[in-house]
Homo-oligomer: A and B are copies of this chain.
């Protein structure tokens, strides 16, 4: 070990993060050395605060520092629609569109036999509990457009059938700004299947 011990420890901490190898970890640690002390302290506080002050919303299971979360507290939203997503990040992506004004439900994953994730690992019981509220009329399944997401959407659509709700799935098709030439066959097939009259 050629690095002084405090530096070696920080490099080790950085290199435990996903996608950060030992070289990048070294570069980041050296950057921290050159940072202002107050910024480093803010960084350290932010790390611990994320762990200590965030938990899951008791309604939608999103991560939040209030309970219920700000979205579930917002009474101006449309209570008739719940959009089911896999991860808190997906919620942020949806909110960015500014097109959806209902509530969310975060599953925290998708069914994946390969990774040993079954329906029991997801926040499905919390979802079912919310569906017994008579206000809810539509469930939008916005899980990812991949095998796991599709399997989860399929599973959920069958599971909630007794509730007699409208269950919809977000559309598949070509990404806007994309190029037909570079679209893979499956996406193109889905785009064709989902074509609409203009």
Contact = CB atoms under 8 A, between A and B. Distances in A.
Contacts of A175: none
A95 interface: yes
Contacts of A2: 91-92, 95-96
B50 A33 contact: yes
Nearest to A64: B4
Most buried by B among A9, A26, A41, A47: A47
B51 A32 contact: yes
Contacts of A43: 13, 16, 44, 47
A33 B96 contact: no
A65 B18 contact: no
A62 to B, nearest CB: 9
A73 interface: no
Given A18-B27, A44-B44, A47-B10, A63 B95 contact: no
A47 B46 contact: no
Interface in A1-25: 2-7, 9-10, 12-13, 16-20, 24
Contacts of A5: 65
Nearest to A71: B2
Contact of A69 (B4, B16, B44): B4
A75 interface: no
A39 B16 contact: yes
B6 A46 contact: yes
A4 B42 contact: no
Contact of A32 (B32, B47, B70, B95): B47
B63 A33 contact: yes
Contacts of A51: 32-33, 35, 37, 40-41
Given A20-B28, A26-B89, A29-B50, 5 more contacts: A6-B54, A16-B39, A32-B47, A40-B50, A43-B47
**5 closest residue pairs by CB, A with B:** A44-B44, A13-B43, A10-B46, A4-B65, A6-B49
